[in-house]
């Protein structure tokens, strides 16, 4: 896979929507903030102007990043007729944390979509990598920065 950007269809649509928002309403708000700050006079010591210009630079950078990703990303769909019992990119997996007895549900995504706070786990992370190809009933041990964790796969969707 290398440096290839893999996205689920949902992730692709989410990024497309973010790009539309940034190019439309967000860009208009930033431009208005610049106009407002300029109206206050001397730009050399105008903190509001410098902040607005910095926001414009960040916005333009994010837009460029998203356009590049959307243009070059590979959208990974589940093949027709593929078995639903093994985990793959886009799978939602319910796990049992064997140490604490807690259940958690994660979705396997590409690195660009990953957001552990939202249970979107990259397939290149220790947990994501360990889950690829796993099926209900499988038990796995994951070596993570926080230490060794043991899980049991309860459901794969």
Quick: pLDDT tens for 10-25.
899 999 999 999 999 9
Are 121 and 107 in contact by the 8 Å Cβ rule? The answer is: yes
The yes-or-no verdict on residue 83 having pLDDT over 90 is no
pTM (2 decimals)?
0.73
Please enumerate in sequence order all residues whose Cβ is within 8 A of that of 89, keeping only pairs 6 or more positions apart, or say none: 6, 8, 76, 108, 109, 110, 123
The yes-or-no verdict on residue 121 having pLDDT over 90 is yes
């Amino acid at each position: 896979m290398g440096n290839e950007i893999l996205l689920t269809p949902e992730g692709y649509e989410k990024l497309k929507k973010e790009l539309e928002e940034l190019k439309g309403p967000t860009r208009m708000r930033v431009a208005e903030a610049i106009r407002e700050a300029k109206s206050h006079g001397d730009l050399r010591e105008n903190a509001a102007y410098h902040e607005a210009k910095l926001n414009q630079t960040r916005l333009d950078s994010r837009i460029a990043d998203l356009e590049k990703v959307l243009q070059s990303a590979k959208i990974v769909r589940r093949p027709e007729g593929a078995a639903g019992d093994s985990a793959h990119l886009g799978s939602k997996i319910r796990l049992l944390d064997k140490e604490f007895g807690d259940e958690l549900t994660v979705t396997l995504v590409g690195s660009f979509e990953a957001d552990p706070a939202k249970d979107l786990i990259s397939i290149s992370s220790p947990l994501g990598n360990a889950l690829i190809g796993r099926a209900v009933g499988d038990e796995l041990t994951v070596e993570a920065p926080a230490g060794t964790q043991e899980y049991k796969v309860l459901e794969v969707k």
